[in-house]
Copies of this chain bind each other. A is one copy, B any other.
Amino acid sequence: MTSNQVANGSDALLFLDKKRTYFIRVRSGESFHTHKGFIRFDDIIGRAYGSRVRSSLGEEFAVLKPSLRDFIQKISRRTQIIYPKDMALIMLYADIRPGSRIVEAGTGSGALTVLLADRVRPDGRVFTYEVREEFLDIARRNVERMRLSSFVEFKNKSIMEGVEEEDVDAVVLDLATPWEVVPFASKALRGSGYFASFSPTIEQTIKTCVAMEKEGFVAVETVECLVRRFQVKEGMTRPETLMTGHTGYLTFGRKILTD
């Protein structure tokens, strides 16, 4: 069975329309129930992703192969602060690449961990710090579901007590007080390595930049990323009425060695 076929136990995205999209685990003998009727998983198993399937009420769904973004959106639905758009920018601005060794904190439900792990494959590694054990368990399960466990080391520790790794390529933070971690991040980074931090408020961002300046980081930059969705239909094209006006500020910098 090729990788583009729906297997028993695999994930799928049932797509009715943009607002009615369901991330499911396909299990033989079971079915998925919606307001538009139910779908028997045995009708899907063995078919190619991208196929259409009809519910018991005749409604047509597309069976999609979930993307990392789909998964990230699913697992961060409740705790979502840092959005896919912000993560996408972090990947490029902090130069997360195959082979990179990354320190992350806090892990949360593992949404960013999953993306980092996928990017550093096959010979890089993510060291992720999370002080709340219950979150670490959730994150571990999420990373495992994406089959990325061998690229992640979960650490049930507070990064406020220091970073144990050395010569890492990037430190990526989604914490309430990132400025307190700046000295540890600086110590852990290789020369020219990347500091990246996400903060919802401007006060957090200011404190973080002040701390970075003190540690001698260069190329310090703070940005915000706005993504605006459009309705594109001939004769009715326009941006959507409501948009996400703010998620957080992203701050980046590069480590300089002291002689």
Nearest-CB residue, chain B, relative to A201: B238
Which residues from chain B contact A165 at a C-beta distance below 8 Å?
A: none
Tell whether, in the assembled complex, residue B246 and residue A241 are in contact, meaning their CB atoms are under 8 Å apart: yes
Nearest-CB residue, chain B, relative to A48: B191
The A interface is mostly helix, strand or loop, or mixed, namely mixed
A219-B18 in contact given A88-B88, A202-B202, A238-B246 (Cβ < 8 Å): yes
Report the Cα distance A169→B68, complex, angstroms: 14
Nearest-CB residue, chain B, relative to A250: B227
- For A, the interface residue count at a CB cutoff of 8 angstroms equals 83
Stoichiometry, as copies per complex, reads 4
Choose from B51, B191, B193, B227 the contact partner of A224 (Cβ within 8 Å). Answer: B227
Which residues from chain B contact A249 at a C-beta distance below 8 Å?
A: 230
Tell whether, in the assembled complex, residue A92 and residue B98 are in contact, meaning their CB atoms are under 8 Å apart: no
Report the Cα distance A237→B4, complex, angstroms: 39
Interface membership of A9, Cβ < 8 A: no
Whole-angstrom distance between the Cβ of A27 and the nearest chain B Cβ: 20
Beyond contacts A62-B254, A205-B232: 9 other A-B pairs, Cβ-Cβ < 8 A, are: A51-B191, A67-B93, A87-B92, A202-B237, A225-B227, A226-B228, A239-B246, A243-B244, A243-B245
